[in-house]
Amino acid sequence: MGSEMTAFQPTFSKPAHANPSIQALRAAARTRFEALGFPTRRQEAWRFVNLGAVITTEFAPERPGTIDVTPWSLPESLTLVFVNGRFDPERSNLTQIPPGMVIKTLADALEDDKGVAQSHLGTSAAFDDHPFVALNTAQDLEGAFIHLLPGTDVEKTIHILYAGAGKNTVSYPRTLIVAESGARANIVESYVSEDQSLSCPVTEVAVAQDASIHHTRLQEEHLSANHLGSVAVNLGSNAAYQLSSINLGAAVARIDINVSLNGAGADASLDGLTLVGGTRQGDHHVRIDHKVGECTSTQRFRSVLDDESRAVFTGRIVVAEGAQGTDANQSSKSLVRSSDAVAFNNPQLEIYTDDVRCTHGSTVGRLDEEALFYLRARGIGRAEAEGLLTLAFAAEVLDAIPSKEIRTRLENLITTRLGTETG
């Protein structure tokens, strides 16, 4: 194991799945996790995030638990709720599932005979050099499975809610989304908790030719919780994937996003917003692989820092040899509202071919005094003016979320949070 003095010793259950290939995958992942150990700050990818609280707390799986999830639920949606990693049918809503769509638990999907879940599991989320993806893969693989058959256009929002109940509990939610050619859907993933807990979720998304997925990922865990999540996406030709990763909760929130553009004409558009205060840490770690030519990608990441918080953005664009005609853009901006907060920006380009257009821009700064003055000259108090300008800064990311309900709720939440945290 990489680090000494670890109180958190993950446990591994016996593989329940009858399928030998799943068993083999879990065993390989476990071996890999045991070889990698917990990351240390000497590792470049984990240099800016302090996992001390994660490693020194004795987390243990505990189930079942109860938690009121109504504040986060979306009434009109197809909903799958998991509490402490276990499916909760009572809180879920799976009525009126449109034709051409499969929505069920991953455990059930892995048991069925069609093999879609099996063949896609582990294909996007590589665990070779990511200890927490390995840890997740070695677990029970409980979570949501969504399969969109060719041409299926789902109008309803699909909502997957992972809730952590109780203190010092750990869960490893696993989500698998498979969109076949021409399918479209709007999927919302929420992570919530009520106490100091740990969640290590992995979400795999496979978007086939001409399919289009909008993925809203809301991390609203308890402010003392720990969240070490990964999103891994594979895109086929002319596929479109849009992500809005909203990072609001948890004391330590690290989200790895890996997108691979495997077919010509694929487009990935990734937005992220991190809001941190207190001594909390938020880290978006993005990698986009342009494996073939004629693909486009856009990244827009924003962070707002208060108090003694820390926000990290690492974004790497890798353009493979021969991926001619790539167009990749990245912008990361940090709004630092306290002199004790620390912002780290690591925009990275790795380009192995010539016919490309890649840009990145990064800024760190505080609120514009002139804009504040303008608002205050019109009778708006300083705190309110700051809130307004900060909301405007975040709006670029929030506006891309398709669900108006979520947008409104987040706007209200952010306004209150900014008000209470800055005094």
Coil vs helix vs strand at 256:
strand
Stretch that binds another protein, among 80-88, 105-113, 266-274, 332-340 (CB under 8 A): 332-340
Q: Does 359 bind another protein (CB under 8 A)?
A: yes
Q: Using CB under 8 A, pick the residue from 64, 115, 361, 402 that binds another protein.
A: 361
Binding another protein by CB under 8 A: which of 60, 342, 388, 391? 342
**Residue 275: which H helix or E strand, with range?**
strand 267-276
Closest by CA position to 341, among listed 365, 360, 317: 365
Closest CA to 149 of 101, 211, 217, 88: 101
Interface with another protein by CB under 8 A: which range of 241-249, 265-273, 339-347, 394-402? 339-347
Which residue, 212 or 330, is less far from another protein as judged by CB?
330
Give dist(CA 354, CA 384) in Å, integer: 48
Does 51 sit near another protein (CB under 8 A)? no
Cβ atoms within 10 Å of 45's Cβ, excluding its own: 17
Which amino acid is it at 176?
L
Determine how many CB atoms are found less than 10 A away from the CB of residue 158.
23
Q: Which residues of 233-254 are buried (b: 16+ CB within 10 A; e: fewer)?
A: bbbbbbbbbbbbbbbbbbbbbb
Q: Does 366 bind another protein (CB under 8 A)?
A: yes
- Return the number of the residue (165 or 356) whose C-beta is nearest another protein: 356
Binding mask 29-48 for another protein (x = CB under 8 A): ---------------x----
Q: Which is nearer to another protein, 49 or 305 (CB)?
A: 305
Measured distance CA(396)–CA(388) in Å, rounded: 13
Burial readout 166-181 (b: 16 or more C-beta within 10 A, e: otherwise): bbebbbbbbbbbbbbb
Q: Per rule CB under 8 A, is residue 334 in the interface with another protein?
A: yes
Which of 3, 19, 93, 324 touches another protein (CB under 8 A)?
324
Q: 284-323 mask for another protein (x: CB under 8 A)? A: ---------------------x---------------xx-
By CB under 8 A, the count of residues binding another protein is 37
The binder of another protein chosen from 219, 345, 390, 403 (CB under 8 A)? 345
Task: State the residues that interact with another protein by CB under 8 A.
Answer: 44, 305, 321-322, 324, 334, 336-366
